[in-house]
Amino acid sequence: MAAVSMDLVKQLRDQTQVGMMDCKKALEEANGDLTLAVEILRKKGAAVAAKRAGNEATKGRIEAFISADNKTGALVEVGCETDFSANTTTMEAFANMTAEIVANNNPATVQDLMAIKNPASSLTLQESLDELIAKICEKIQINQFARFAITDNGLVNAYIHPGSTVGIMIELQTATPATDVEALKALAKDLCMQIAVTNPLCIAPSQLDPVVLEKERSIAREQLATSNKPAAIIEKIVEGKINKFYEEVCLLNQLFIKNDKLSVKAHVEEVAKKVGTSITVTQFKRCAIGR
Q: Residue 263: enclosing H or E segment and its boundaries?
A: strand 259-263
pLDDT value at residue 230: 79
Determine the Cα–Cα distance for residues 195 and 187; give it in Å rounded to an integer.
12
Q: What is the average pLDDT value for the chain, to the nearest integer?
A: 89
pLDDT value at residue 49: 53
Lowest mean pLDDT among 1-15, 67-81, 124-138, 213-227: 1-15
User: DSSP string spanning 84-118?
Assistant: HHHTSHHHHHHHHHHHHHHHHH--SSHHHHHTPBP
pLDDT value at residue 51: 57
Mean pLDDT across the stretch 21-26? 75
Does residue 190 register a pLDDT over 60?
yes
9: confidence class by pLDDT, cuts 50, 70, 90: confident
pLDDT value at residue 143: 94
Mean pLDDT across the stretch 201-207? 95
**If we measure between CA atoms, which residue out of 40, 60, 44 comes closest to residue 52?**
44
Does residue 134 or residue 169 have the better pLDDT? 169
pTM of the model: 0.80
pLDDT value at residue 17: 64
Does residue 1 register a pLDDT over 70?
no
What is the CB neighbour count within 10 angstroms for residue 5?
10
* Domains of the chain, earliest start first: 6-51 (1.10.8.10), 209-249 (1.10.286)
What is the CB neighbour count within 10 angstroms for residue 137?
18
Mean pLDDT across the stretch 27-39? 78
Mean pLDDT across the stretch 61-73? 98
pLDDT value at residue 146: 98
Does residue 42 register a pLDDT over 90?
no
Does residue 44 register a pLDDT over 90?
no
pLDDT digits (tens, 9 = 90+) for 128-144: 898 888 888 888 999 99
94: confidence class by pLDDT, cuts 50, 70, 90: very high
pLDDT value at residue 238: 82
